[in-house]
């Protein structure tokens, strides 16, 4: 069995060999949709969402091109944990090889994958590697018998260490069986796995192989990766953690070259960057998320683009994932105090930045939600009926108070709704090469309430102008550094409607100088302007 030291030596060697980007499993311009199966759609009336219910709603996510863009257009779904677990959330797994019975069977899941693939939807599942459930048979065995073969799969101490966790929580928990303690970073019901043990690393590979080959998934969202290895007093971001991720990622690449892995590093961009180039394919861009929400909430674009620019300077665009909010965070609409125009600007910014964007279910209809976690993960609101079209029975969690208005059916018939904006933007992103893969070019506006930038793919470019303020603005000018665009005269037109939007002249140095995108910018309004190849 390899020691951790030998793993680190191997990791340093691999770091020089593995490619910078390996995301061939994704189409350029793809958007991913995060789904909590328990809350998406209930097919059998027991009040709990299930896999068959999700299958029934796949056409909402992507119908495979059968409609005229009345679907959301996402080409990827990330399913929060679906393995067997004693909890509602599933992040404490008792059987990594069995679908949670509340959701259905392994056969149901295979049918879901087949139906998703038929619609050009890739399927990612949440893979919880850092810890297992305290109800997992291996942990229960290790508790009972110190001589168990699984004893060294977990971390033990005869006395309680004084160390606290990253948010000052207790991480050592008293055994219910004898006078000793075990390590569980998140809580006592989730004992951490010991990745210094080669058998644990091999089991993680075995689980990955099962889901990739037996169940047919296209990849993983890997939970809580900074905490995999505790080493030399470091509870997060340790050298051992990076080594384990390199070994795991190399294995996944070997058995499933077209797969996609994305990790949760809930930290700053600087803390995230050491997880490249040779670990997981991508990681979530929390700083970009925070910058979008803060800019839209405060009405100032001064700090909006720097996190995205930092990532663009360091990484290919398909190796990081912007988002607005996820299952652990206050929902966007609640953060923005129910302001729909601001939510529309936030969506526009998210879906016009580089990266692989992720959208949490219900964000596209403006669902509200705040802590505790259960209230961030409430049932999807399909219609204004008593149970919001989620179930024929009594929902596992009460609906949000806004379910009568923030629902799919109500918004589908409104061309100006938040839902229809998401649909247009996601489809546009997939079709427009500048938005799908173009370089982000920051622009300078004469008013701090305006955030403006270009996405440029060769000679094709889209200009995005956002008035984040609550007042109309007249005469706002846009300028750039040298090399922003090829020289020439551009006949600018709106993305939607194709109406002319004036002319733009770019000099030989490639600068935009005091361009006025519109005589007046409406309050809390975004403008998407297409710049066809210039006339010389």
For residue 355, which of 315, 307, 304, 320 has the smallest C-alpha distance? 320
Going by the DSSP 8-state scheme, the letter that residue 76 receives in this structure is E
Task: Tell me the chain's radius of gyration from C-alpha atoms.
Answer: 24
Collapse the DSSP code of 282 into the 3-class scheme (helix H, G, I; strand E, B; otherwise coil) and give the result: strand
Could you give phi then psi for residue 12, rounded to 5 degrees? -65, -35
Among 242, 321, 236, residue whose Cα is nearest residue 278? 242
**Residue 111 parent element (H or E):** helix 106-118
With a CB cutoff of 8 Å and minimum separation 6, the contacts of 5 are none
Distance of CA 389 to the CA centre of its chain: 26
Q: How far is CA 357 from the centre of its chain?
A: 7
Q: 228 near 243, Cβ under 8 Å? A: no
Residue 483 burial by Cβ neighbours in a 10 Å radius (0-12, 13-18, 19+) = exposed
- Look-up of token digits 């996820």: 326
* 157, β-bridge pairs: 181
Q: Could you say which of 95, 180, 223, 457 is catalytic?
A: 223
Joined together, the tokens standing for residue 349 give: 């910014």
Among 71, 126, 264, 335, which one carries the catalytic annotation? 264
d(CA 181, CA 74): 45
Contact (Cβ atoms closer than 8 angstroms) between residue 201 and residue 248:
yes
Tokens for 383, please give them. Answer: 């219609």
Q: Are 362 and 380 in contact (CB under 8 A)?
A: yes
Query: Is 214 marked active-site?
Result: no
Residue 267 a catalytic site member: no
Rounded Cα distance between 60 and 415, Å, is 17
SS3 382: coil
CA nearest neighbour of 237 among 187, 279, 286: 279
> Nearest-CA neighbor of 315 among 273, 253, 271, 260?
273
Residues recognised as catalytic: 223, 264
């Amino acid at each position: 069995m390899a020691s951790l030291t030998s793993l680190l030596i191997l990791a340093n060697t691999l770091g020089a060999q593995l490619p910078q980007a390996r995301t061939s499993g994704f189409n350029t311009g793809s958007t991913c949709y995060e789904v909590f199966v328990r809350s998406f759609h209930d097919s059998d009336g027991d009040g709990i969402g299930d896999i068959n219910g999700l299958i029934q709603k796949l056409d909402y996510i992507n119908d495979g091109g059968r409609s005229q863009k009345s679907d959301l257009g996402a080409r990827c779904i990330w399913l929060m944990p679906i393995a067997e677990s004693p909890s509602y959330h599933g992040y404490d797994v008792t059987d990594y090889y069995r679908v949670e019975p509340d959701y259905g069977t392994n056969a149901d899941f295979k049918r879901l994958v087949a139906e998703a693939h038929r619609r050009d939807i890739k399927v990612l599942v949440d893979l919880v590697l850092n810890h297992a459930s305290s109800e997992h048979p291996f942990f229960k065995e290790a508790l009972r018998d110190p001589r168990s073969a699984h004893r060294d799969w977990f971390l033990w101490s005869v006395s309680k260490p004084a160390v606290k966790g990253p948010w000052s929580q207790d991480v050592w928990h008293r055994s219910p069986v004898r006078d000793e303690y075990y390590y569980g970073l998140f809580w006592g019901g989730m004992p951490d796995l010991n990745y210094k043990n080669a058998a644990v690393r091999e089991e993680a590979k075995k689980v990955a192989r099962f889901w990739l080959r037996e169940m047919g998934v296209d990849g993983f969202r890997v939970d809580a990766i900074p905490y995999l290895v505790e080493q030399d007093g470091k509870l997060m971001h340790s050298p051992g953690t990076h080594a384990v991720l390199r070994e795991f990622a190399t294995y996944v690449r070997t058995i499933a070259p077209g797969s996609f892995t994305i990790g949760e590093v809930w930290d700053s961009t600087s803390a995230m960057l050491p997880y490249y180039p040779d670990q997981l394919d991508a990681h979530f861009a929390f700083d970009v998320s925070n910058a979008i929400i803060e800019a839209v909430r405060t009405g100032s674009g001064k700090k909006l683009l720097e996190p995205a620019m930092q990532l663009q300077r360091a990484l290919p665009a398909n190796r990081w994932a912007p988002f607005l909010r996820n299952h652990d965070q206050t929902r966007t609409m609640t953060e923005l105090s129910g302001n729909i125009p601001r939510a529309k600007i936030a969506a526009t910014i998210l879906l016009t930045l580089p990266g692989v964007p992720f959208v949490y279910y219900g964000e596209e209809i403006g669902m509200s939600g705040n802590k505790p976690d259960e209230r961030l993960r409430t049932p999807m609101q399909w219609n204004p009926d008593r149970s919001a079209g989620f179930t024929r029975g009594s929902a596992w969690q009460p609906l949000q108070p806004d379910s009568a208005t923030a629902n799919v059916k109500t918004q589908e018939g409104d061309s100006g709704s938040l839902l229809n904006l998401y649909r247009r933007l996601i489809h546009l992103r997939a079709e427009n090469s500048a938005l799908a893969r173009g370089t982000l070019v920051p622009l300078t506006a004469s008013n701090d309430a305006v955030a403006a930038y270009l996405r440029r793919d060769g000679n094709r470019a889209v200009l995005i102008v956002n008035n984040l303020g609550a007042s109309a603005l007249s005469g706002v000018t846009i300028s750039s550094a040298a090399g922003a665009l090829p020289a020439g005269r551009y006949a600018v037109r709106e993305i939607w409607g194709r109406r002319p939007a004036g002319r733009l002249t770019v000099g030989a140095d490639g600068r935009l100088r005091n361009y006025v995108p519109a005589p007046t910018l409406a309050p809390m309004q975004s403008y998407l302007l297409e710049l066809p190849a210039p006339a010389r």
